[in-house]
Amino acid sequence: MRLTPTLRTYLLALWITFTAKMPCAADDFQLILNGLPQLHVADSPGFQVSPGCQLSYSAILKFPFNSHPAAMEEWMKAYGYQACYWIRFSLENTTSQTIEAYLHVDFFGKIVLYALIPGDTLQYTGGPDVSSSPHTPVATLHAIRFQVPAHQQIQYLVQLSSTSDDDLGATNLEISSPTSLSQSFLRQYFHDRLTRLLQLLFLGFMCSQMLYVLFQWMIVKRKEYPYYFLYLGLVTLYYLHKYYHQIGIYWPFAYYPELRFYLKSILLMLPYLFYLKFIRNFLELSTLDKNVERQIIRLENGIVIYMIVDLLLRTCFPEKTWINELLMISIFIVFMYCLYLIFLLMKHHDLLISLILTGGLIAGAGGVAGILITLLENNMGIIHINLNNLVPGQIGVCIETIIFTTSLGIKIRRIEKEKIKNQQKLIQQLQENELLRMNMENIRNKIAQDLHDDIGATLSSILLYSHAAMQRKKMSTQEAKAIFDKINRISTDMMENMSDIVWAIHPLQDSMEKLIHRMIYYALPLARAKNITFHFHEGEQVRDVELDMNKRKNIFLIFKEAICNALKYAEATLIDVNLYLNDGQLHLVIKDNGKGFAEQDTEGNGLRNMKYRCRECDGEITISSAPGQGTCIHLQIPVQIR
C-alpha cells in the first residue's frame, strides 16, 4: 500500500515529535557568550555532581571539578533527577562599566547562580525566587539576570537541578545580553514550529471533542457527559502545561511554575476519577453489575484520598523527588486495578461495553507507557534514545475519543430503538385499554339490560298480579293462594337473578376458585333435595385459569340453566359435571341419565339463552340428547392461564 505525500509528511512529523529531545543530554557542553564582546571567559568551565543533592555549596568547593564536558552527560545518565549538577566558570569585565547579562541553561527546572568572593565565600546572585509577573518578558522567565562589575574577574558557581515535572539536560550554558537573549528565544520558538503545529492540532482535536460532548449533554441531559467533558478538559490542560513553551501559551504555567508542581497529581489522577464516573454512568452499572459498581466507587474514593495526601506531601516536602515516584507508582496501581475491572465487565459480551472499555484501556496504556519511558530513560538509564514520553499518552487519548464517539453513536441508536419499542408497547397498551374500556362498557350495558329485563319484568308481573287481586272483590282462598304463589315464585326468581348479577360483578369473586365453589354450592343442595346423585370433577390447573367478569358470569349462568333443566325436566338420578383444560380451552361437560329429548325440541328459551351466552364468550356449545339416553351439554371457551 502506497502512502500519500500528506500522510507520509504527517507520520514523519509524528516520529520527529516522538523522538524530540524532551529530556536532553549534554553533548560537548560549552560556555557561550552572546552579544557581550566586553566579557571574556577567564578559564575553562569545571563540572561537579552531588547525588541526591546532599552536598551544600560549601562542601562542593572542597572537591575538585572535572574539566571534561562529557562528564555532565555521564552523570545525567547515571543519576537523572536524583542529583544536583554544578558548573564553575570565570568571567572578566575589561571595561569601565558594569555589564548586565542573563544566564540561561537549556532543559533544567531550577537554576541558582552564586558568585565566589574572596575568602571562598559564595554570594547568592540569582535563582528561582526572582519574582515574575504577566508583564515579565517571556524570554527572561527562565534566565537569571546578574551583573559583572567593571575591571573585575569574577568566579561563578551554577547549581542545576530538576524534578520529573521539568526537562532534564543541558546543551550549552549561555550568557547573553538582553537583545541576544530575545533573539535566541525567537530562534528557539521558530525551531519548535513542527512540534507546535502537532500540539495545536492535538489541542484543536480535544477542544472540538469537548464541544461535541457539551452539545450532546445540552441535547440529551445525561449526567455521564459532564464527567467525560471534565475528563477531556483535564487531559487537555495536562498536555497544555507540558507543552506550553513549544505551543507559545505561557500563562499561567510559565509565570507561576509552582502550579506545575502542586497540580501534578490533580492533572494526572483526576482524569481517572472522572473517567471512572463516566463509565459507571454511561454503562449504567447500577443495573448491569452492582459488584463492579461498588468496586469502582471504592477506587474513586481511593483516588480522592490519594490526591489529598499528595497535596499535603508536596506542601510539607517540596524538595523531595520521591513524591513524584510515588505518584507514578500510584498511577500504575490504578491502571492495573482498572484492568481487573475491565476483566470483570468483559463477561457481559456486549459491543458497547467492549468499545468503551477498550478505549479506556488504550488511553490508560498510553499514559503508563509514558511513565515507563520516563523510568527506563531518566531514572534507570536503560533507554539511551531520547524519546518523548508524552506522545504515547496523546495517541491513546485520541484513539479513546474516537472510540467514544463510535460508542455514543451505538448507544444513541439503542436508545432510539428502545424508545420505538416503548412507544409500540404504549400503543399496544392503549389499544388494550381501549378494548378493555369497550368491554367494560358492554358489560355495563349488559348488566343494565339484565336488570331492566329481569327486575323490570318481575316487578311488572308482581304489579299486574297485585292489581288483578285488588280488582276482584270476591276471591276464593284458592284463587288468592294461587296469585300469591305466583308473586312469591316471581320474587324468588328475581332475588336469585339479583344474587347472580351481584356475585358476577363483585371483585372479591373474581377467581376460578370462587366460581367452582358457587357452582357446587348451587347444584349440590338442589340435587340432594331431589335425591339425585351429583358428581363434580375438577381437572389439573383449572384454578389457574384467568376469567374476566363477563366469561365468569356466562359460564355460571349456562351451568345454572343446565342444572335447572336436569332437575326440573330430565327425571334423572345422576348428574355428572366435568371441568377441565385442553389446548387453551376450558371445557365444561354436564351429563345426566334422564329421559332426554328429541332434537326438534332443542330450541327452548333456556337452550337459546345458553347458546347466546356462549357466543358472548367466543366459545362453542354442543347439546346432545335423545329420548331415553339422557342429555350432555359440552361448553368450550378460550381462556388464559396464570
pLDDT digits 0-9 by tens, 388-406: 778 888 888 899 999 988 8
Q: Is the pLDDT of residue 299 over 90?
A: yes
Q: Where does residue 197 fall: left (phi above 0), alpha (psi -120 to 50 degrees), or beta otherwise? A: alpha
Which residue in 227, 319, 320 sits closest to 275, CA to CA?
227
Task: Give yes or no for a contact between 158 and 173, defined as CB atoms under 8 angstroms apart.
Answer: yes
In whole angstroms, give the CA distance from residue 621 to residue 612: 10
So what's the pLDDT on residue 389? 73
- Work out the burial of residue 140: count CB atoms within 10 Å of its CB; fewer than 13 is exposed, 13-18 middle, 19 or more buried: middle
**Cβ–Cβ < 8 Å for 630, 572:** yes
Q: How many CB atoms sit inside 10 A of residue 131's CB?
A: 5
Q: Read off the pLDDT of each residue in 149-153 and give the average, rounded to a whole number.
A: 89
pLDDT at 298: 94
pLDDT, position 171:
67
pLDDT of residue 2: 47
- State which H helix or E strand residue 153 sits in: strand 152-161
Q: Is the pLDDT of residue 284 over 90?
A: no
Which residues are registered as beta bridge partners of 534? 575
Place of cell 540569582: 126
Which of 198-212, 238-252, 266-280 has the least mean pLDDT? 238-252
pLDDT in tens, 461-510: 666 667 666 666 566 767 677 777 777 777 777 777 676 666 666 665 66
Q: What is the pLDDT of residue 24?
A: 41
Task: Using the predicted structure, report yes or no on whether residue 11 has a pLDDT greater than 60.
Answer: no
| List of residues 6+ apart from 249 with CB closer than 8 A | 240
In this model, does residue 211 exceed pLDDT 90?
Answer: yes
% of residues, the chain, pLDDT over 90: 15
The tens digit of pLDDT for each residue in 106-146 reads 767 788 888 887 766 778 887 765 556 667 777 777 788 88
Structure confidence at residue 293 as a pLDDT band (50, 70, 90) = very high
Task: Quickly count: other Cβ atoms within 10 Å of residue 313's Cβ.
Answer: 16
Q: What is the pLDDT of residue 214?
A: 92
d(CA 321, CA 308): 18
Quick: pLDDT tens for 565-587.
888 888 889 999 999 998 889 99
- What's the whole-number mean pLDDT along residues 268-292? 90
For residue 304, what pLDDT band results from cuts at 50, 70 and 90?
very high
**Would the pLDDT of 382 be above 80?**
no
Q: Which helix (H) or strand (E) holds 490?
A: helix 477-505
Element (H or E) spanning 47, and its range? strand 46-51
Check: CB of residue 150 under 8 Å from CB of residue 95: yes
Chain center to CA of 562: 64
**Residue 276 above 90 pLDDT?**
yes
Classified as helix, coil or strand, 548 is coil
| DSSP helix/strand/coil, 467 | helix
Instruction: State the average pLDDT for the chain.
Output: 81
103 within 8 A of 184, measured Cβ to Cβ: no
**DSSP symbols for 311-356:** HHHHHH-TT-THHHHHHHHHHHHHHHHHHHHHHHHGGG--HHHHHH
What is the distance between the alpha carbons of residues 615 and 609, in angstroms, rounded to a whole number? 10
Specify the amino acid at residue 285. L
Range of weakest confidence among 70-79, 338-347, 391-400, 520-529 = 70-79
CA distance 48 to 65: 5
Helix (H, G, I), strand (E, B) or coil at 403: helix
Share of the chain above pLDDT 70, in %: 81
- Tell me the DSSP string of 289-314: -HHHHHHHHHHHHHHHHHHHHHHHHH
C-alpha cell at 506: 363483585
Q: DSSP per residue over 244-285, as a string?
A: HHHHT--TTTTT-THHHHHTHHHHHHHHHHHHHHHHHHHTTH
Going by pLDDT thresholds of 50, 70 and 90, the confidence category of residue 351 is confident
pLDDT digits (tens, 9 = 90+) for 164-191: 655 666 667 889 988 888 888 887 777 7
pLDDT for 231 beyond 90: yes
Average pLDDT over residues 187-201: 81
pLDDT band at 12 (very low <50, low <70, confident <90, very high): very low
